[in-house]
């Protein structure tokens, strides 16, 4: 039979004491600690009571325990005082948002002649509770305003409480069955007079009762019994015997109002009332969500803490777990899950730990009850140190487990219950965690989480796992917030496939240009979830460029220059904001845009023989003027061009008024063509060479 067993700490401990048989003898205490998981920052220690002293050895150890490793602490101790003492060995591992560990105890009785060593036993004894009468409490508020009762009747009322774990804090015993009895013949015969239930404050009041106790008798001899039973929960011992408590007998009560006083349950068995009170809180929380859970039975103390798979409305609790509200409500969550689903989640049940990789169904079957327990206590707990309203899951008596759902550094995966519980908490809570794309702005509360859990069906069944079924259910039920939900899942390393954007449009921009000139190109696309989009431009020259992020549908721009002439094929693809995280593929490439790039070169034409007024030079038909010390410089694209220099010019030389003709002869590269065709592939400098006529001419103004 598979059980829905409570979470175990991965640490195991063993404590032993040997060599002591009488007072003043020395012996050895040994504490061994091992772990099935990595246990960082572990502190192991032996706590000696007043009756023992350390003679030699060590009582503590601190360090990291790797999986499968065992560390041992040994110390020589001496029994020094008569009495009953408890030696405790404790091992606790701590890391961010998480604490787990276990302790082991030995009960040692020391007399002058003998030493008896036993493991500490669980709570045992009768199901009748130890009770005490508290100081007198004021009579029922507003009693004087109540209509007078019929003569000869009595109305009995009072209060029931129980002491919390510390035996100092009182809690009301709420909503339990209370019987009013008449005791006759010294208690040999008791008559049931009336039944009622306590209210939120532990107060009860029976209807008016005929106060005739029989012939030659005065008023009734009454006492009140309370039972750990109501329409929500019944708490019994492991054999099914109900816990109950009873007031003293008030004899010959007079007619009218009669206050039985305020009674409190004390002693070891009072823990059953803590269990009942915690289940009340869980039931009230489920009711606030629109679900009225059926009655469950708690058996305590039992052989473990679990819900039997063949008895899904019975919770068994270890001794010590009566004070662990999170543990109780975790198991209560299992019963709720089974009642709503009509089945156990397949492939779940058995031993498990917080960071253990099991399977997605197992992880959800344990992570969801943990989340439910912490949320119920967060919203409806008492808010004091014994029952805080916070985001911690605690198990502190038989083992030490502390996990902070807000900050816990859990293992990652859909098959890890810690990841499931913390993910659900991030959906629920109002804290703004730093996520992959900003902060956790979602503060959904329990209602949408419960809606998916209770109402979403897939394949004919309720949610079995956090991914894909809870994820799909969240959106199927219309709860939306896609971006932040995706980020929360990713934050707990539960990657969700995210469909990519549509293929971007063909880039638009210039289809021709020049080397080393920057040109801008544009494109756009849309994302099915309106995620932000970035674009990868492939410029066709072996280089690419990722843009910044753009809103879905917005036009994206990118600029580029080419370093050499040629024909280039520009294309682009896109990814949404989840793409860099590995959860969404890039789109396909867009169609190409062909861009023809030609090189810009500098053509320099020198005419060192030019007269002061310069010489005309034409490049591709465009006129320029070259001077003796200032050449023509033209920046043009590479390729073929036409070049022409003036064929001749007059230049005044030697004496004023004497002019010589200069005739074009050749270019500095040897060409004699003028005009000429030139092919430019790089910066080029040419000089036009002229020859002078043999004889000058005299002219005041040569033409």
Q: What digits encode the pLDDT tens for the residues 691-701?
A: 998 776 765 54
pLDDT at 703 over 80: no
E-strand ranges in 173-274 read: 177-184, 189-197, 203-205, 209-210, 222-227, 233-236, 244-246, 256-266
Percent of the chain with pLDDT over 90: 65
pLDDT of residue 341: 98
pLDDT at 189 over 70: yes
pLDDT of residue 3: 61
User: Do 466 and 423 contact (CB within 8 A), yes or no?
Assistant: yes
Between residues 399 and 465, the one the model is more confident about: 465
pLDDT of residue 347: 95
Q: Domains in the chain, start-ordered, CATH in brackets?
A: 3-119 (2.60.40.10), 122-141+150-323 (2.60.40.10), 325-491 (no CATH), 522-598 (2.60.40), 600-698 (2.60.40)
Return the minimum-mean-pLDDT range out of 45-49, 428-432, 663-667: 428-432
Q: Which helix (H) or strand (E) holds 152?
A: none
Between residues 420 and 216, the one the model is more confident about: 420
pLDDT of residue 334: 97
pLDDT of residue 141: 36
pLDDT of residue 408: 82
Average pLDDT over residues 367-375: 97
pLDDT at 278 over 90: yes
pLDDT at 582 over 90: no
pLDDT at 193 over 90: yes
pLDDT of residue 601: 87
pLDDT tens-digit series, residues 559-576: 999 988 899 999 999 998
Between residues 24 and 619, the one the model is more confident about: 619
Average pLDDT of the chain is 89
pLDDT of residue 529: 84
- In the block, tokens 């004894």 appear at 125
pLDDT of residue 215: 61
Q: C-alpha distances in angstroms, 406 versus 392, 426, 430, 471, 573?
A: 8, 7, 10, 20, 38
Closest CA to 72 of 34, 28, 118: 34
Average pLDDT over residues 456-469: 96
Q: Collect all residues with Cβ–Cβ distance below 8 Å to 439 and sequence separation of at least 6.
A: 432, 433
pLDDT tens-digit series, residues 619-664: 999 999 999 999 999 988 888 999 999 999 999 887 888 889 999 9
How far from each other are the two terminal CA atoms of the chain, in whole angstroms? Answer: 123
Q: Judge residue 169's burial from the number of C-beta atoms within 10 Å of its C-beta, 0-12 exposed, 13-18 middle, 19 or more buried.
A: middle
DSSP state of 563: S
- Highest mean pLDDT among 90-104, 211-225, 524-538 belongs to 524-538
Between residues 119 and 65, the one the model is more confident about: 65
pLDDT at 150 over 90: no
Percent of the chain with pLDDT over 70: 91
Average pLDDT over residues 152-175: 92
pLDDT at 516 over 60: yes
pLDDT of residue 139: 35
pLDDT of residue 598: 86
CA–CA distance, 38 with 26 (Å, rounded to integer)? 35
């Amino acid at each position: 039979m598979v059980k829905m067993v409570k979470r175990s700490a991965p640490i195991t401990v063993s404590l032993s004491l040997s060599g002591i048989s009488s007072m003043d003898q020395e012996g050895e205490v040994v504490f061994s600690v091992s772990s099935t998981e990595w246990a960082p920052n572990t502190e192991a220690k032996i706590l000696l009571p007043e009756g023992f002293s350390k003679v030699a050895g060590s009582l503590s150890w601190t360090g990291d325990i790797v999986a499968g490793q065992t560390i041992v602490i040994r110390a020589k101790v001496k029994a020094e005082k008569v009495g009953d003492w408890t030696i405790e060995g404790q091992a606790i591992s701590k890391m961010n948002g998480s604490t787990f560990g276990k302790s082991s105890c030995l009960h040692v009785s020391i007399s002058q002649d003998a030493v008896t060593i036993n493991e500490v036993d669980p709570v045992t004894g009768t199901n009748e509770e130890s009770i005490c009468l508290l100081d007198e409490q004021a009579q029922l508020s507003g009693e004087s305003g109540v209509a007078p009762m019929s003569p000869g009747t009595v109305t009995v009322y009072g209060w029931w409480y129980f002491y919390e774990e510390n035996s100092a804090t009182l809690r009301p015993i709420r909503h339990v069955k209370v019987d009013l009895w008449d005791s006759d013949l010294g208690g040999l015969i008791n008559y049931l007079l009336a039944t009622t239930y306590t209210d939120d404050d532990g107060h009860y009041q029976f209807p008016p009762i005929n106060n005739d106790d029989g012939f030659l008798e005065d008023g009734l001899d009454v006492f009140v019994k309370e039972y750990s039973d109501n329409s929500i929960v019944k708490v019994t011992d492991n054999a099914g015997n109900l816990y109950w408590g009873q007031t003293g007998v008030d004899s010959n009560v007079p007619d009218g109002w009669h206050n039985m006083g305020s009674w409190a349950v004390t002693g070891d068995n009072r823990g059953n009332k803590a269990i009942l009170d915690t289940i009340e809180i869980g039931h009230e929380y489920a009711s606030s969500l629109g679900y009225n859970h059926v009655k469950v039975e708690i058996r305590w103390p039992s052989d473990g803490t679990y819900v039997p798979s063949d008895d899904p409305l019975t919770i068994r609790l270890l001794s010590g777990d009566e004070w662990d509200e999170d543990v109780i409500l975790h198991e209560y969550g299992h019963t709720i899950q089974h009642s709503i689903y009509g089945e156990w989640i397949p492939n779940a049940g058995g031993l498990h730990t917080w960071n253990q990789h099991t399977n997605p169904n197992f992880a959800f079957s344990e992570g969801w009850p943990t989340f439910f327990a912490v949320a119920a206590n967060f919203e409806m707990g008492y808010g004091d140190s014994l029952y805080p309203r916070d985001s911690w899951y605690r198990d502190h008596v038989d083992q030490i487990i502390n996990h902070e759902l807000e900050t816990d550094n859990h293992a990652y995966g859909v098959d890890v219950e810690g990841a499931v519980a913390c993910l659900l908490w991030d959906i629920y809570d109002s804290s703004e965690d730093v996520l992959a794309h900003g902060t956790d702005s979602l503060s959904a509360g329990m209602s949408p989480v419960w809606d998916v859990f209770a109402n979403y069906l897939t394949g004919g069944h309720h949610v079995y796992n956090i991914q894909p079924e809870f994820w799909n259910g969240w959106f199927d039920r219309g709860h939306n917030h896609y971006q932040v939900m995706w980020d929360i899942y990713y934050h707990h390393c539960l990657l969700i496939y995210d469909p990519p954007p549509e293929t971007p449009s063909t880039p638009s921009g210039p289809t021709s240009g020049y080397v080393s000139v920057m040109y801008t190109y544009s494109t756009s696309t849309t994302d099915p979830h309106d995620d932000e989009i970035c674009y990868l431009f492939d410029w066709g020259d072996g280089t690419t460029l990722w843009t910044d992020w753009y809103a879905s549908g917005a036009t994206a721009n990118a600029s580029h220059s080419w370093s050499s002439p040629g024909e280039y094929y520009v294309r682009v693809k896109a990814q949404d904001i989840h793409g860099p995280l590995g959860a969404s593929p890039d789109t396909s490439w867009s169609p190409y845009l062909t861009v023809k790039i030609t090189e810009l070169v500098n053509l320099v034409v020198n005419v060192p023989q030019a007269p002061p007024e310069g010489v005309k030079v034409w490049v591709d038909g465009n006129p320029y003027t070259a001077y003796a010390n200032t050449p023509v410089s033209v920046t043009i694209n590479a390729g073929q061009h036409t070049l022409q220099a003036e064929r001749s010019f007059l230049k005044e030389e030697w004496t004023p008024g004497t002019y010589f003709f200069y005739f074009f002869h050749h270019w500095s590269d040897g060409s004699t063509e003028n005009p000429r065709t030139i092919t430019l592939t790089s910066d080029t400098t040419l000089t036009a060479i002229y020859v002078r006529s043999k004889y000058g001419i005299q002219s005041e103004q040569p033409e």
